[in-house]
């Protein structure tokens, strides 16, 4: 039977029984806890001097699970949305994340290709092509025969 972490009062009770000289198996039978759990609690108490849950290692996540699910749901709903839009969406909820962090979160959930594709023509290129076309509009057809089509 899989159990959750023991409450603090129960861990303290295990330590009290251990200090009074009671063994692992007797304590385990009296409290209806596996003897291995009793042993683990006592080893932790000997090593750290406390039965409280110690802080976990590593840096805490910047967003909680609820916000993460919201981000993934929104990205799934709108596959054409770019990372900048996702960043603005999260900023409206109060979570400030870098676009790479958002990308990593989406990758962990199997969502890829969220960076918008750059257009082939920029406004500058369009204007330059239009200017060229206007200057050459009156050119004879023989000139256009020399142009190579791509």
Distances (CA, A) of 141 to 115, 135, 138: 43, 14, 9
Torsion of Cα atoms, 117 then 123 then 127 then 128, to 10°:
-60
**pTM value?**
0.47
* 150 pLDDT higher than 60: no
Q: What is the pLDDT of residues 23-37, one digit of tens each?
A: 999 999 999 999 999
Q: Read off the pLDDT of residues 92-131 as tens digits, 9 standing for 90 and up.
A: 888 899 999 999 999 999 888 766 666 677 888 889 989 9
């Amino acid at each position: 039977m899989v159990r959750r972490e023991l409450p603090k009062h129960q861990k303290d009770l295990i330590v009290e029984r251990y200090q009074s000289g009671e063994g692992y198996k007797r304590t385990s039978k009296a409290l209806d806890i596996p003897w291995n759990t009793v042993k683990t609690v006592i080893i932790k108490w000997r090593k750290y001097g406390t039965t409280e849950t110690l802080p976990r290692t590593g840096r805490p996540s910047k967003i909680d699970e609820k916000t993460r699910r919201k981000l993934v749901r929104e990205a799934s709903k709108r596959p054409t949305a770019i990372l900048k839009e996702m960043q603005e969406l999260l900023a409206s909820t109060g979570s400030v994340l870098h676009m790479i962090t958002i990308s990593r979160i989406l990758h962990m959930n199997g969502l890829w290709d969220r960076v918008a594709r750059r257009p082939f023509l920029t406004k500058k290129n369009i204007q330059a092509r239009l200017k060229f076309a206007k200057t050459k509009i009156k050119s004879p057809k023989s000139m256009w025969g020399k142009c190579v089509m791509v």
